[in-house]
């Protein structure tokens, strides 16, 4: 048997890796394209997020600027929405889409959106699994089938976390477009451009699920738990 990271079974994961590379390219290309398309209203991402939050009774959620590019996120622990400089200060369709998307996560949290609550509850398990699944699996191949199974279960937990993340992200994007359009921040052809930015971002989550699913199939094949052990 070849070492698990370099054996021919890596070909199983290749389609997922190619999709992940394409998704990363698309999210940056689409964001950069629509970062040059400015909204007619001229409102910034920070202003849009602030008004959206206030209109939904979330005036207690601060909107802060954070360093980096595409580092935008909502922190449910501190109940704070953080935007990258380009999104915070920008008035482009890309800035508005990303800002509203993160505001959508804040609304999910405030309204007790079940998939988000489930996802948050899985964070510790997913973090533990992403750190130890591969080491336990590799060590188990040499010393203990029990460790192999534990590694597989932990990896499966990471996959479950990623699957649960999908409806959370898609719902936040749908909320974002509806809120931006409903409050007249965007209109007409601007809606389609904003959707393209958010759809490109969503593709990265779909790719992550596919990569993990194919990787799990590969590990099962290597461990002999799937297929014929004698082949």
User: How far is residue 15's CA from residue 1's CA, in Å, rounded to a whole number?
Assistant: 23
CA atoms of 147 and 64, how far apart (whole Å): 44
Picking from 164, 183, 64, 172, the residue whose alpha carbon sits closest to that of residue 111 is: 172
Ranges assigned E (strand) in 70-192: 73-75, 80-83
- Radius of gyration of the chain from Cα atoms? 21
Which residues does the annotation mark as catalytic?
A: 102
What sign does the CA torsion over 156, 158, 164, 167 have?
negative
Cα-based distances in Å from 103 to 19, 55, 167, 204: 28, 11, 16, 19
- Residue with tokens 């079940």, as numbered in its chain: 114
Neighbours of 114 (CB within 10 A): 12
CA distance 87 to 93: 10
Other residues' Cβ atoms within 10 Å of the Cβ of residue 74: 24
Q: Is 94 exposed, middle or buried (0-12, 13-18, 19+ CB in 10 A)?
A: buried
């Amino acid at each position: 048997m070849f070492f698990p990271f370099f054996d021919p079974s890596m070909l199983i994961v290749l389609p997922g890796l190619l999709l992940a590379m394409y998704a990363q390219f698309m999210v940056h290309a689409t964001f950069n394209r629509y970062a040059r398309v400015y909204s007619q209203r001229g409102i910034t991402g920070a202003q849009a997020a602030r008004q959206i939050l206030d209109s939904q009774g979330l005036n207690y959620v601060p909107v802060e600027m954070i360093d980096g590019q595409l580092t935008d996120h909502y922190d449910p622990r501190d109940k704070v929405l953080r935007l990258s400089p380009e999104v915070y200060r920008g008035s482009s369709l890309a800035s508005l889409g990303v800002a509203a998307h993160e505001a959508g996560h804040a609304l999910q949290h405030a309204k007790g959106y079940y998939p988000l609550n489930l996802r948050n509850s899985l964070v510790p398990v997913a973090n533990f699994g992403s750190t130890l699944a591969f080491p336990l699996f590799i060590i188990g191949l040499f010393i203990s089938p029990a460790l192999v199974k534990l590694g597989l279960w932990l990896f499966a937990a990471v996959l479950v976390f990623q699957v649960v993340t999908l409806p959370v992200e898609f719902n936040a994007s749908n909320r974002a477009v509806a809120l931006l359009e409903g409050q007249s921040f965007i209109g007409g052809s601007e809606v389609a451009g904003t959707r393209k930015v958010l759809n490109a971002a969503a593709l990265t989550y779909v790719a992550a699920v596919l990569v993990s699913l194919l990787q799990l199939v590969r590990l099962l094949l290597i461990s002999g738990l799937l297929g014929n052990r004698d082949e």
